Amino acid sequence: MPLDFQFKYVIIGNSAAGIGCVEGIRRIDKRGTIAIISEEKMHTYSRCLTSYYIAGHVDDEKILFRPRDYYERKNVTPILGKKAVKIFPNENYIVLNDGTKIGYSSLMIGTGASPVVYDIPGNNKPGVFVLRTYEDARKISEAASAGKRAVIMGGGLVGLKAADALHARGMEVWVIVTSPQIMSQTMDKEGAEILRKQLEENGIRILTETNVEEICGDNKVEAVRLSTGQKLSCDIVIFAKGVRPNIGLAKEAGIQTDYGILVDAHMRTNVQNIYAAGDVAEAKDFITGERYVHAIWPNAVEQGQIAGQNMAGADVEYNGGIAMNSVDLFGLASIAVGLTRPRAKDGGYEIISRSVPDKKFYRKLVLKDGIIVGAISIGAVEAAGILTGLIKNRANVSKFKELLLSEDLDYAKVVGLGIASDATKMATA
């Protein structure tokens, strides 16, 4: 069977996980040939910046998260604007939508996730959008128009970032959220209330415990009908109600999948020489040890790096992913890491918090047996990374947990407490 190309490493996906993989490989193997494939034409851009693009804060150049000459510098062959349609795991090659056959010694699947569009009447009308790709952002940007109204379905990170962006473009923005609070995946109730207030004070309208049941309009979006019976006229609608891993390609090739592609601590799938990383991969969770999909940027990069190093012959294990998110809304910073809202029935958790409403300061710690497993910081977030570090170190902080709530917490204060793993006499940098 003649192949059109043969590479040592083939990466499907030119985003966080794919680039992480390139960098992982190049840490170990400076020369081995690498091909990176994406169905999107764009040079490696950051989808987290798509909302900034809509707002007008980043342009076609700044949305790239690696320099223009990145592929040459890393000696990588980009194959952009082509879709991988089939993997032949026994023969070690893949096929693209134009028929090109590409052989590999090892393959990494970093196909990411796609937005979920719920099955409600009118969901395909012109004026209905999702926000995931550069193309999506371009289309929304074109449709955005000052003085008009946008309805955003979903109060998670993507929904709120879209709301912020469209507001910056002069639109009247309504966010419709099914749950009783915004950011229900990462933020606790109290924190969510602070953020909601911040958004509302700045002109974003938020309806919680409400659903959009129909998107109305003759030829295009004209209104949405809400579960409250209310009809809300609007010009555009954005679905931001979560994503689902793009596992089709892997599943068809016989690679084990559940919600995502199942991978071990080396980011290997059950098929030899095939790895997966990022939003598509279901990998170990740091806190529970079970497999879980944490669809966030830092995890995608880290998993990609680990996959890449292992593909290149190193032996690097993944510690497990932790949910974490940072978002700045109208100048109010908020960071949530780890388990921030343990369910009451799980039991055994200790929760301490401190808030200074005047300063919009809020910090909360979730502990289990003295070990810190989750943290929220709103307002002064400078210490958030220290808390992340303590979570990753599985530090027992029971003796000085109150100290960790102080607004001016800094790294020096945790040095010498025996919890900072590297509290040594010397630090190099």
Partner 1 sequence: MKKRVVVKFDKCIGCRSCEVACAREHSQKLRTEERITADTNKPVSRIAIKPTFSDPTECEELKPIKGQSRNDIKTGKAYPIRCRHCDDPKCVEACMSGALMKNDEGVVVHNPDKCVGCWMCIMACPFGAIKRDVKNKIIVKCDLCPHRETPACVEACKTGAIIFLREEEIPEWGE
The item of ligand FAD, partner 1, none sharing an interface with residue 389, based on CB under 5 to 8 Å by kind, is: partner 1
Nearest one of 260, 257, 310, 248 to 106, comparing CA atoms: 310
Question: What token pair was written down for 241?
Answer: 């109600």
Is residue 92 a contact point for ligand FAD (CB under 6 A)? Answer: no
Q: Where are the beta strands (DSSP E) in 235-289?
A: 236-239, 243-245, 261-262, 274-276, 281-284
Encoded one letter per residue, x for contact with partner 1 by CB under 8 A and - for no contact, window 311-330 reads -------------xxxxx--
Question: CA–CA separation, 244 vs 298, rounded Å?
Answer: 18
204: helix, coil or strand?
coil
Q: Where are the beta strands (DSSP E) in 2-121?
A: 5-12, 34-38, 76-80, 84-88, 93-96, 101-109, 113-115
Ordered strands of the 236-239 beta sheet: 128-130, 236-239, 149-153, 172-176, 205-207
The item of partner 1, ligand FAD, none sharing an interface with residue 50, based on CB under 5 to 8 Å by kind, is: ligand FAD
Provide CB contacts within 8 A for 379, sequence distance 6+. 332, 333, 356, 359, 360, 361, 362
DSSP 323: -
Interacting residue with ligand FAD among 112, 308, 320, 338 (CB under 6 A) = 112
Interacting residue with partner 1 among 25, 54, 58, 372 (CB under 8 A) = 58
Is residue 416 a contact point for partner 1 (CB under 8 A)? Answer: yes
Is residue 149 a contact point for ligand FAD (CB under 6 A)? Answer: no
Q: Is the dihedral of CA 186, 189, 195, 196 positive or negative?
A: positive
Question: What token pair was written down for 198?
Answer: 């911040």
Binding to partner 1, residues 394-413 (CB under 8 A): 399-400, 403, 409-413
Is residue 84 a contact point for ligand FAD (CB under 6 A)? Answer: yes
The item of ligand FAD, partner 1, none sharing an interface with residue 37, based on CB under 5 to 8 Å by kind, is: ligand FAD
Binding residues with ligand FAD: total (CB under 6 A): 37
Binding to ligand FAD, residues 335-394 (CB under 6 A): none
Is residue 18 a contact point for ligand FAD (CB under 6 A)? Answer: yes
Binding to partner 1, residues 260-319 (CB under 8 A): 297-298, 301-302, 305
Return left, alpha or beta for 370; rule: phi > 0 is left, psi -120 to 50 is alpha, else beta. left
Q: Which residue has the tokens 């193309």?
A: 135
Interacting residue with partner 1 among 41, 57, 68, 231 (CB under 8 A) = 57
Residue 80 or 415 having the CB closest to ligand FAD = 80
Interacting residue with partner 1 among 7, 52, 129, 286 (CB under 8 A) = 52
Q: Are the C-beta atoms of 175 and 152 separated by less than 8 Å? A: yes
Binding site for partner 1 (CB under 8 A): 16, 20, 46, 48-49, 52, 57-58, 62, 64-67, 297-298, 301-302, 305, 324-328, 331, 333, 335, 337, 381-386, 388-389, 392-393, 399-400, 403, 409-413, 415-418, 425-429
Binding site for ligand FAD (CB under 6 A): 12-18, 37-40, 47-48, 50-51, 83-84, 110-113, 131-132, 157-158, 161, 246, 249, 278-280, 295-298, 300, 325
